[in-house]
Amino acid sequence: MSLLVTGGAGFIGSNFVLEWLSREQEPIVVLDKLTYAGNPENLASVHGDPRFTFVRGDIGDRPFVADLLQKHEVRAVLNFAAESHVDRSIHGPGEFIHTNVVGTFELLEAVRGYWSALEEPAKQAFRFLHVSTDEVYGSLGPEDPAFTEKHQFQPNSPYSASKAASDHLVRAYHHTYGLPVLTTNCSNNYGPFHFPEKLIPLMILNALNGKPLPVYGDGKNVRDWLYVTDHCSAIRRVLQAGRLGETYNVGGRNEMTNLEVVQKLCAILDELRPLEHGTSYWDQVHFVKDRPGHDRRYAIDASLIEHELGWLPAETFETGIRKTIEWYLAHPDWIQGVVSGAYREWVVKQYGA
């Protein structure tokens, strides 16, 4: 038996695979299309491990996925595969509908066919765990309570709308066909292997390269940050003990404005990689045009997973951000590998020359 991890060459998926193989004996098959966000280098440390198989392919390719499920006697599918960047969804929503909605549908169909034909007890033990986001709930006002699992879906970007649609499909496959599904809705992750189009790694790289630190709007939008391995431990726990058909919100109770995040990040860089003449990386901050439809605040109420499954994050923002910055400083080769022509094209498209 093995786990099928879709999108396992991306940021969170690769952290999940590395963590899993460092703790468990059960094999993992990664299915990844290797879009711009998928990077086999993230998994370099497990290449050659007999418990690890990498397959390049698309979650939307139903017959291909059906074959994989059979061949590897998969006992659980963890669906990380998605188009994940809000700004890209604003420039081009089509790919988000294609992968996040249609791709998830095709994946669910392949899984339903495989699961229906399983004998007991394998059928009862099977799991489909869908990795989703807090962005499906929309935006909060400054005094609103944090999102619970009962919060109405009010997605505001093409990305979050496509993730909301995929969450609904997953739910429907449980209610209609009895597929044993679990869904997690997590807040903003950060940590190693984070592609530098997202706020934290973009700011680290730009700071180190003497480039402007582009803060959207007034910089007061609030995100609820969780170190990536804490998200991975939540997923392991939900897989192990989550109630079928349930959704679990995952978050670290670390609400911060973007300006606060950039401030902390600059202070740690000032300490670890001081600039000449005692100046600060903070001087590189530039306020730029806001993201259209920019959600003002996200905050996760993680009471359900904390109380029902006993999950708690291990890192605070202070410990996690320091580890993250140290990781980027220690991995210039990884950075070189991802800052390709395609990445540079995106930076010019989004931020101008």
Residues designated catalytic: 134-135, 159
- In whole angstroms, how far apart are CA 188 and each of 51, 52, 199? 30, 27, 10
CB burial of residue 213 (10 Å; 0-12, 13-18, 19+): buried
134-153 residues near ligand DAU, rule: CB under 6 A: 134-135
Q: Compute the distance between CA of residue 5 and CA of residue 152 in angstroms, rounded to an integer.
A: 29
Taking contact as CB under 6 A, which single stretch among the options 20-28, 198-206, 311-319, 325-333 is the one that binds ligand DAU?
198-206
Binding mask 70-99 for ligand NAD (x = CB under 6 A): ----------xxx-x--------------x
171-190 residues near ligand NAD, rule: CB under 6 A: 186, 188-189
Does residue 196 touch ligand NAD according to CB under 6 A? no
Task: Return the axis-axis angle of helices 228-241 and 11-23, rounded to nearest 10°.
Answer: 60
Does residue 215 touch ligand DAU according to CB under 6 A? yes
Q: Compute the distance between CA of residue 153 and CA of residue 53 in angstroms, rounded to an integer.
A: 36
Q: Compute the distance between CA of residue 14 and CA of residue 34 in angstroms, rounded to an integer.
A: 12
232-271 residues near ligand DAU, rule: CB under 6 A: 258
Given 3, 101, 182, 199, the residue binding ligand DAU (CB under 6 A): 199
Cis peptide leading into 121, omega within 30 of 0? yes
Does residue 227 touch ligand DAU according to CB under 6 A? no
Of all helices (H) and strands (E), which one includes residue 189? strand 188-190
Which of the choices ligand DAU, ligand NAD, none does residue 131 contact, using the CB cut-off of 5 to 8 A by kind? ligand NAD
Per-residue DSSP letters for 127-167?
A: EEEEEEEGGGG----TTSPPB-TTSPP---SHHHHHHHHHH
3-state secondary structure labels for all residues of 69-138: HHHCCEEEEEECCCCCCHHHHHHCCHHHHHHHHHHHHHHHHHHHHHHHCCCCCHHHHCEEEEEEEHHHHC
Given 59, 86, 204, 338, the residue binding ligand DAU (CB under 6 A): 86
Backbone phi, psi, residue 304, to 5° = -60, -50
Which of the choices ligand DAU, ligand NAD, none does residue 255 contact, using the CB cut-off of 5 to 8 A by kind? none
- State in angstroms the smallest separation of the CB of 90 from ligand DAU: 10
Cβ-Cβ contacts under 8 Å for 71 (sequence gap 6 or more): none
Which residue in 17, 87, 40, 350 sits closest to 206, CA to CA?
350
- State in angstroms the smallest separation of the CB of 78 from ligand DAU: 16
Binding mask 276-305 for ligand DAU (x = CB under 6 A): ---------------x------x-------
Which is nearer to ligand DAU, 96 or 115 (by Cβ)?
96
Structure tokens at 336: 């070189």
Residue with tokens 């400054």: 142
Which is nearer to ligand NAD, 12 or 165 (by Cβ)?
12
Cβ-Cβ contacts under 8 Å for 317 (sequence gap 6 or more): 225, 227, 252, 254, 256, 264
- State in angstroms the smallest separation of the CB of 154 from ligand NAD: 17
Given 3, 10, 295, 301, the residue binding ligand NAD (CB under 6 A): 10
Does residue 20 touch ligand DAU according to CB under 6 A? no
Does residue 226 touch ligand DAU according to CB under 6 A? no
Q: Compute the distance between CA of residue 322 and CA of residue 264 in angstroms, rounded to an integer.
A: 9
Which of the choices ligand DAU, ligand NAD, none does residue 247 contact, using the CB cut-off of 5 to 8 A by kind? none
- State in angstroms the smallest separation of the CB of 115 from ligand NAD: 19
Does residue 37 touch ligand NAD according to CB under 6 A? yes
> Which residues of this protein are in contact with ligand DAU, per CB under 6 A?
84-86, 133-135, 187-188, 198-199, 202, 214-216, 221, 223, 258, 291, 298
> Which residues of this protein are in contact with ligand NAD, per CB under 6 A?
6-7, 9-13, 31-35, 37-38, 58-60, 80-82, 84, 99, 103, 131-133, 163, 186, 188-189, 195
